[in-house]
């Protein structure tokens, strides 16, 4: 049973106009919250629902709290406060997990902490180390000499290849593959591709989150490195030898080609592509579906995505675009002529 | 043994110029069909093969049937007729599947219909419900309290996370992940990402098809919803809180960001990106590799994809594009000047 | 223990200025190599490290070998030479793998060569054939009547669907799905999608490599074909009926729509999209994030990707682009007018 006082304490927030003993039964958006539920105001477009919501209380900023008609949990950063409070309402884990499920297979040379969990149908290869409190959900494969740090959690069906090292509290969603071979190929005389052995590995820092079906390739010689606190969404592809700086966030379907270096605190929107062998400074924000083909040395927001128009108009634009160089030359010719005319 | 009469009946079509008792041994395209095989004419470019094909009969439209030199199965919609007939030629399932494979693991509290099938190395967690006639292929993971509706089919290696609900006759291809955490993050004072618990789930309607390695995130608070009859191709990414209207089709590699709402009967081409928190009306068609960054309120066809040119030409175009604003200003200056000159 | 002489022999290269008996302990890039390690010079930007490296020897071209201050392994193609040499330093496989792991399940009608390996938690369905020396890593699913050729290697968690045939020495990384249903749909009168049965299969040639979480759909009627020596990176999507010519390489996140035919020795950069039902000639190179919507008949380099600009500038460009057709018309009007003025 969670009380409003407990909510405020968890949020590190102050309670205004409510009874700390009020029981809170859940969380919900302002328009759909029922009595007893807690809500939050982060998106300003929802402010209008404050006067009509049935919520028992609302998390909001000091500014929005002025004149708020219901009990308020006032926090400087309501989004962070909400993130903390919401953990109180996560469904409890059904059973305590520790040990090795009878259907799992672990090499006798793997080192598995006593309080770690190896779920059904997992494979843990020779020399792997599963540290204290780690959770390996059903169907995961942990390769030879791989290391899963303390309290790391693989939800299900994750592949961690040989010698890959995950830090502490890493969270990996289903279908992710960490440490597959990089795309290293040499072209021989006959135009055939010769595979370049991928001898490096992958190093994942503490508190990294890796989305569903995301892939991170092992380095060709040295390691691919994902620094602490990085968040990768689903279906992100990270090439070999890449380094991603701490606390950067990459949205869904981003692709980063080999040997690119991305700074700290960067944000890449969905579908962004980063070419290989370049550097991106700290605090760079790339908007969705943009292509970065050269290094970026200054923090800031960068874009190259084009948004839709009605197809008929777009076809015209697109056809004109093909003649853009001609157009420039025609414009310059005109300027030259006018100059002459003007002088006449 | 399938006869031409059975073919016509299955197609809901009329037979013209053929013997209903003719045995049909298979289906093949017009150019490669052998005697005894059935073919079809959907793409008009294949009409020229009608006079040379060896096919025993052909499914086609009333218009194409005029003067057709071989037995004709005449249908108003030959594509639909073909889709129905082709089911007659699917390879039979090798064994009747019902029960739980000895290598699978199912929680004692899971409810599994007597005629459902749980394949090798599957995991079915506590409280999950597998309804009548459902088929769970090898290596699937069904989370706690998840529900698979009647006759739903997971081909292999599918992850259905906790509390996700699939409707009836849902078909899910290998590697798909339904109900992974959404990409919900709050930025704290120090520029670190705090995970926002994802408390919602995913609701999949009847007759939905989900492609290989496609990912659908669970909602942050309420459910991500895929309405009935929606078809998702491979490697599609659906963010949290998204709603996709009934009978829409999303081609391969489409990404839909969080809280977007897509209408009914929409078609998204391959690689399309949809930004978050926007709405797309019913009957909207987006062509391949376009970006939608604002709501679309009218049905129609929309585009923003640019197609390739020879690299040298493209580099010129691309360089000019960077000076497009300057070019507009120069053009306007010229217009102003000419106006003056003209008046002079 | 590997000697410099053995390195040169493996590389098919000549040794200049070193002792063939020198023991080589590993490989490393020029700047970080320690004494005893072998390095290589492929990227000209690394030439400056030749004078400061601690490497025991370096693989390089005849031209770079001139004046090289350390022992040189001189090869016409240093990249190919390095690829060969690096195999000497791959970590040895921990145990000899042959047989069927006790946790795997194989149908009694599957044919598995005596020296093949079926790893933990694999499923091998009825009638499948696993040929000599094949390696099936943990958690793979091999469908009915599928064939894995001699020395083919599935790293882990790969799905090979029914009747798919893989050639010799095919290498498949985790999470790949070969032979899922193509996206074949017919639209009925009511705007509902009817599934078109996918009766074809997939044929993979010898020496093909398939990346992590890549998906290759089975043909609608005939086979999807990946010819010998093709290399597919991670998260590539290949639609039904596609044919990819021998020795082509597709980088990460490429999508190829149904029935496209790609030539031999082609290179597609990351994130490229290929529309359906078109043909691309041999020796075509498409740069990253380009869209190919029409056939390409001539070899060469093609592009349509746009690279980022600062967001403010991009927004201006993008707004102007929408008025490009108007701009053309204004320019033409001006030209017409100037012509008249000039004549006056």
Interchain contact, C307 vs A307, CB within 8 Å: no
Q: Are A223 and A203 in contact (CB under 8 A)?
A: yes
Interchain contact, C335 vs A334, CB within 8 Å: yes
Interchain contact, A309 vs B294, CB within 8 Å: no
Interchain contact, B193 vs A249, CB within 8 Å: yes
What average pLDDT does the segment C249-272 reach? Answer: 98
Search chain C and give the residue with CA nearest B174: C177
Interchain contact, B234 vs C139, CB within 8 Å: no
Interchain contact, A314 vs B331, CB within 8 Å: no
Query: Which DSSP symbol is given to C280?
Result: E
Question: Which of B120, B175, B186 to mutate to probe the A interface, most A CBs <10 Å?
Answer: B186
**Distance between CA A263 and CA C130 in Å, rounded?**
46
What average pLDDT does the segment A127-131 reach? Answer: 98
Helix (H), strand (E) counts: chain C: 5, 40
Q: Are C166 and C143 in contact (CB under 8 A)?
A: no
* pLDDT score recorded for residue C95: 58
Contact residues, chain B, for C316 at CB < 8 Å:
324-325
Q: What confidence category does residue B229 fall into, taking pLDDT thresholds of 50, 70 and 90? A: very high
* pLDDT score recorded for residue A95: 58
User: Two tokens at A159?
Assistant: 């592949």
Interchain contact, C304 vs B314, CB within 8 Å: yes
Q: Report helix, strand or coil for C39.
A: strand
Q: Provide the percentage of residues in chain A whose pLDDT is more than 90.
A: 91
Q: What pLDDT digit, counting tens, does each position of B68-83 carry?
A: 999 999 999 999 999 9
What average pLDDT does the segment A19-47 reach? Answer: 94
Q: Report helix, strand or coil for C172.
A: strand
Q: Provide the percentage of residues in chain C whose pLDDT is more than 70.
A: 97
Q: Which residues have CB under 8 Å from A145's CB, separation 6+?
A: A125, A126, A127, A128, A129, A162, A163
Question: Which among A170, A150, A92, A154 has a CA at the least distance from the CA of A118?
Answer: A154
* pLDDT score recorded for residue C63: 95
Q: Choose among B127, B193, B303: nearest Cβ to A311.
A: B303
3-class secondary structure per residue, chain A: CEEHHHHHHHHCCEEECCCCCCEECEECCCCCCCCCEEEECCCHHHHHHHHCCCCCEEEECHHHHCCCCCCEEECCCHHHHHHHHHHHHCCCCCCCCCEECCCCEECCCCEECCCCEECCCCEECCCCEECCCCEECCCCEECCCCEECCCCEECCCCEECCCCEECCCCEECCCCEEEECCCCEEECCCCCEEECCCCCCEEECCCCEECCCCEEECCCCCCEEECCCCEECCCCEECCCCEECCCCEECCCCEECCCCEECCCCEECCCCEECCCCEECCCEEECCCCEECCCECCCEEEECCCECEEHHHHHHHHHHHCCHHHHHHHHHHHHHHHHHHHHC
pLDDT greater than 60 at residue C72: yes
Q: Choose among C125, C193, C290: nearest Cβ to B247.
A: C193
pLDDT greater than 80 at residue B95: no
Search chain A and give the residue with CA nearest C102: A105
3-class secondary structure per residue, chain B: CEEHHHHHHHHCCEEECCCCCCEECEECCCCCCCCCEEEECCCHHHHHHHHCCCCCEEEECHHHHCCCCCCEEECCCHHHHHHHHHHHHCCCCCCCCCEECCCCEECCCCEECCCCEECCCCEECCCCEECCCCEECCCCEECCCCEECCCCEECCCCEECCCCEECCCCEECCCCEEEECCCCEEECCCCCEEECCCCCCEEECCCCEECCCCEEECCCCCCEEECCCCEECCCCEECCCCEECCCCEECCCCEECCCCEECCCCEECCCCEECCCCEECCCEEECCCCEECCCECCCEEEECCCECEEHHHHHHHHHHHCCHHHHHHHHHHHHHHHHHHHHC
B16-25, B26-35, B327-336: segment of lowest average pLDDT = B327-336
Contact residues, chain A, for C155 at CB < 8 Å:
159, 161, 180
Question: Which of C237, C310, C321 to mutate to probe the B interface, most B CBs <10 Å?
Answer: C237
What average pLDDT does the segment A267-286 reach? Answer: 98
Q: What pLDDT digit, counting tens, does each position of C166-184 carry?
A: 999 999 999 999 999 999 9
When the pLDDT of each residue in chain B is averaged and rounded to a whole number, the result is 95
Cβ of residue B343 closer than 8 Å to a chain A Cβ: no
Phi, psi dihedral angles at C333 (to 5 degrees): -60, -40
Cβ of residue A192 closer than 8 Å to a chain C Cβ: yes
Which strand (E) or helix (H) includes residue C316?
A: helix C311-321
CA distance, residue C170 to nearest chain B CA (Å): 20
Q: Are B141 and A137 in contact (CB under 8 A)?
A: yes
CA distance, residue B338 to nearest chain C CA (Å): 8
Chains that touch B (3 or more CB pairs under 8 A): A, C
* pLDDT score recorded for residue C336: 86
Q: What confidence category does residue C338 fall into, taking pLDDT thresholds of 50, 70 and 90? A: confident
pLDDT greater than 90 at residue A176: yes
Search chain B and give the residue with CA nearest C107: B120
pLDDT greater than 60 at residue C341: no
**Distance between CA C186 and CA C196 in Å, rounded?**
7
Q: Are C222 and C185 in contact (CB under 8 A)?
A: no
pLDDT greater than 90 at residue A249: yes
* pLDDT score recorded for residue A94: 54
Burial-class residue A143 by CB neighbours within 10 Å (0-12, 13-18, 19+): buried
ipTM for the complex? 0.95
Q: Which residues have CB under 8 Å from C73's CB, separation 6+?
A: C4, C7, C8, C11, C13, C14, C15, C16, C18, C38, C57, C58, C59, C60, C81, C85
Cβ of residue B307 closer than 8 Å to a chain A Cβ: yes
When the pLDDT of each residue in chain A is averaged and rounded to a whole number, the result is 95
**Distance between CA B84 and CA C195 in Å, rounded?**
8
Q: What confidence category does residue C94 fall into, taking pLDDT thresholds of 50, 70 and 90? A: low
Contact residues, chain A, for C327 at CB < 8 Å:
320, 327
What average pLDDT does the segment B117-140 reach? Answer: 97
pLDDT greater than 90 at residue B96: no
Q: Which listed residue (A162, A240, A277, A285) is catalytic?
A: A240
CA distance, residue C19 to nearest chain A CA (Å): 25
Q: Which residues have CB under 8 Å from A194's CB, separation 6+?
A: A185, A186, A187, A188, C80, C83, C84
Q: What confidence category does residue A335 fall into, taking pLDDT thresholds of 50, 70 and 90? A: confident
Is A247 marked active-site?
no
Q: Residue A333: how many CB atoms within 10 A of its CB?
A: 12
- Reading across the β-sheet that carries A165-166, which strands appear in turn? A111-112, A129-130, A147-148, A165-166, A202-204, A224-226, A243-244, A261-262, A279-280
- Active site amino acids of C: 240
Q: Choose among B83, B89, B94: nearest Cβ to C195.
A: B83
* pLDDT score recorded for residue B226: 98
pLDDT greater than 50 at residue A321: yes
Q: How many CA atoms lie within 13 A of A80 on its CB side?
A: 14
Q: What confidence category does residue A342 fall into, taking pLDDT thresholds of 50, 70 and 90? A: very low
Q: What pLDDT digit, counting tens, does each position of A75-120 carry?
A: 999 999 999 999 999 877 655 679 999 999 999 999 999 999 999 9
What average pLDDT does the segment C44-56 reach? Answer: 93
A59-63, A330-334, B181-185: segment of lowest average pLDDT = A330-334
**Distance between CA C326 and CA C33 in Å, rounded?**
60
pLDDT greater than 70 at residue C26: yes
Q: Choose among B137, B212, B315: nearest Cβ to C215.
A: B212
Q: If phi over 0 gives left and psi between -120 and 50 gives alpha, with beta otherwise, what is residue B247?
A: left
Q: Choose among A173, A309, A311: nearest Cβ to B181.
A: A173
* pLDDT score recorded for residue A168: 98
Interchain contact, C194 vs B27, CB within 8 Å: no
* pLDDT score recorded for residue C205: 98
- Active site amino acids of B: 240
Phi, psi dihedral angles at B278 (to 5 degrees): -135, 170
Q: What confidence category does residue A336 fall into, taking pLDDT thresholds of 50, 70 and 90? A: confident
Which residues are bridge partners to B58 per DSSP? B39, B72
Cβ of residue A186 closer than 8 Å to a chain C Cβ: yes
User: Two tokens at A109?
Assistant: 């040379």
* pLDDT score recorded for residue A244: 98
Q: What pLDDT digit, counting tens, does each position of C270-309 carry?
A: 999 999 999 999 999 999 999 999 999 999 999 999 999 9
Question: Which among A151, A110, A148 has a CA at the least distance from the CA of A133?
Answer: A151
Phi, psi dihedral angles at B10 (to 5 degrees): -65, -35
**Distance between CA B318 and CA A35 in Å, rounded?**
57
pLDDT greater than 50 at residue B343: no
Q: What pLDDT digit, counting tens, does each position of A177-193 carry?
A: 999 999 999 999 899 99
pLDDT greater than 60 at residue B340: no
Q: What confidence category does residue A344 fall into, taking pLDDT thresholds of 50, 70 and 90? A: very low
Q: Choose among A291, A301, A320: nearest Cβ to C307.
A: A291
């Amino acid at each position: 049973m969670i009380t409003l006082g407990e909510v405020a304490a968890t949020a590190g927030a102050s309670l205004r106009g409510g009874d700390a003993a009020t029981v809170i039964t859940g969380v919900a958006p302002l328009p759909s919250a029922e009595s007893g539920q807690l809500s939050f105001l982060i998106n300003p477009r929802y402010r209008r629902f404050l006067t009509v919501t049935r919520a028992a209380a609302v998390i909001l900023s000091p500014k929005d709290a002025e004149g708020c008609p219901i009990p308020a949990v006032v926090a400087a950063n309501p989004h962070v406060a909400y993130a903390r409070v919401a953990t109180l309402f996560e469904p409890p884990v059904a059973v305590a997990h520790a040990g090795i499920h009878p259907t799992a297979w672990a090499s006798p040379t793997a080192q598995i902490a006593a309080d770690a969990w190896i779920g059904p149908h997992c494979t843990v290869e020779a020399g792997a180390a599963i540290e204290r409190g780690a959770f390996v959900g059903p169907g995961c494969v942990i390769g030879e000499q791989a290391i899963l740090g303390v309290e790391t959690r693989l939800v299900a069906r994750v592949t961690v290849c040989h010698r890959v090292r995950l830090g502490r509290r890493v969270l990996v969603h289903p279908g992710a593959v960490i440490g597959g071979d990089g795309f290293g190929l040499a072209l021989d005389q006959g135009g055939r591709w010769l595979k370049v052995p991928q001898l490096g590995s992958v190093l994942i820092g503490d508190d990294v989150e890796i989305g569903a079906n995301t892939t991170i390739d092992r380095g060709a010689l040295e390691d691919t490195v994902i620094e602490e606190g990085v968040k990768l969404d689903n279906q992100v592809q990270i090439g070999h030898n890449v380094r991603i700086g701490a606390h950067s966030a990459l949205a869904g379907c981003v692709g980063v080609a080999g040997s690119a270096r991305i700074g700290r605190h960067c944000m890449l929107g969905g579908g962004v592509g980063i070419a290989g062998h370049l550097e991106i400074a700290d605090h760079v924000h790339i908007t969705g579906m943009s292509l970065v083909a050269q290094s970026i040395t200054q923090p800031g927001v960068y874009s190259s995505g084009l948004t839709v128009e009605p197809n008929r108009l777009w076809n015209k634009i697109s056809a004109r675009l093909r003649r853009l160089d001609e157009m420039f030359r025609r414009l310059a010719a005109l300027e030259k002529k006018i100059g002459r005319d003007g002088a006449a």
